[in-house]
Chain A
Amino acid sequence: MDMAPRWSGGYGFQIRYESYGSDLTVNAKDINASFFHKTYFLEGVYTWDRSARITLKLPYQIIEKRDSDILSKNNSFGDLIIAVPLKKYNNYKSYTQNIGVTPQVKIPLDEKMTNVTGPFSGGVSLSYSSESFSFYQLYDIFSWFYNYKDPLLGLDINLGIHPYHDNATNKGLFVIWDATCRWENSYTIIQTGPAFMLYNQNIMMRAELKLPAIETGGKNKLSKGVYMNIGLGFVF
């Protein structure tokens, strides 16, 4: 799960696709506008030892906006996100757990996007996760600080069961309930939905679909709509 690769010198990469957007407001009104955001991520991780690793996320995003009859489309690299997860593991007889602190920065790569995201953003997250053979849980509270707008506060919760695993082939399936909360100055969203993680030896695929359970903002604020995420990862 989030713990791999935990071995010294382990590394991995993931390709991921994420999309969200809607043509309705948070109050489900049609205001003749829309916003759709699709992002392809290339992500990498390197583990020095189980307590220290570095991760990189390089997004390529496609943003489609419509305001009345004015359409705009922007394809560009998003902000490069570099994080250094620091974890303290505890192994017990039948389960393992870790607490983590992750400082992270966003570095804009595209001048066009610098105007949107600002020159620099920093964040930090605090996490706890534990895993037994049958059950997995993750709690991650995080914040991003921007120099052009109010900070964002977030909470991710993953609760999963492990209905299938084959020791001989190291294949299996996790079924996870995923909830994500985001609080900004004038916008709040809680999205929730199922996630499925299939693995086969060192290959992992995760798919998730989340709907906004609670979404509040200004009366003309567009909803984020259905959130979809599919990733394929490899560790070595």
Chain B
Amino acid sequence: MIKNSIYKLFLPVVLLVFINAQIIELNNKKVTILKDEVVIEVRGLVCSFCAVGLQGGLSSLHNVDKEKYNNGVLVDIEHHFAVIAEISGKDINIDEALTMITKSGYEVFTVYTNRSGEKIDVRNFEVNKN
């Protein structure tokens, strides 16, 4: 009985998330690109202590949903990417995010967005894939 209620309550929510999400493989990790998130692959993003600067910079952008992750930003140094959570229906300025990453001492490899919830847009940047 209780189990059925849980299914009824959570199944629509789970389905809604996956309808608005696409999955990619990023440096050997499956990453879900949600409609209101931007995923940025960053070159050389391995230094844990340095990730703090990147996190702080990206959190300060407009329209970041600071309720999610660490002030709106998740930095994965093992797989070299950052996820920025956006306030629902409001986009961050991606060019500002790229400038912030450069000021933080890194370079951007690829930007993934899923604005429609159905298709991932990919922006690649000219860097060596060493």
Chain A interface residues (CB < 8 Å from chain B): 1, 3-10, 49-50, 89-96, 131-133, 162, 165, 167-170, 172, 199, 201-202, 204, 235
Contact = CB atoms under 8 A, between A and B. Distances in A.
Nearest to B83: A167
Contact of A93 (B51, B52, B77, B80): B80
A131 to B, nearest CB: 5
Interface in B64-95: 69-70, 74-78, 80
Nearest to B129: A93
Contacts of B109: 93
A202 B69 CA distance: 16
A4 B47 contact: yes
13 contacts: A7-B53, A8-B103, A9-B103, A10-B53, A95-B44, A96-B46, A132-B46, A165-B48, A165-B78, A167-B75, A168-B74, A235-B52, A235-B53
Secondary structure dominating the interface of B: mixed
Contacts of A4: 47, 49-50, 52-53
B45 to A, nearest CB: 8
B36 interface: no
B37 interface: no
B103 to A, nearest CB: 5
Contacts of A1: 47, 49
Contacts of A89: 44, 105
* Size band of the interface chain B makes with A: 20 to 34
B32 interface: no
Most chain B CB neighbours (cut-off 10 Å) among A7, A9, A94, A96 = A7
A201 B80 CA distance: 17
B33 interface: no
A167 B46 CA distance: 11
Nearest to A166: B48
Contacts of B112: none
B116 interface: no
B46 A7 contact: no
Nearest to B109: A93
A10 B77 CA distance: 20
B5 interface: no
B70 to A, nearest CB: 7
A131 B46 contact: yes
A5 B54 CA distance: 10
A111 B106 CA distance: 45
Contact of B105 (A7, A95, A172): A7
B22 interface: no
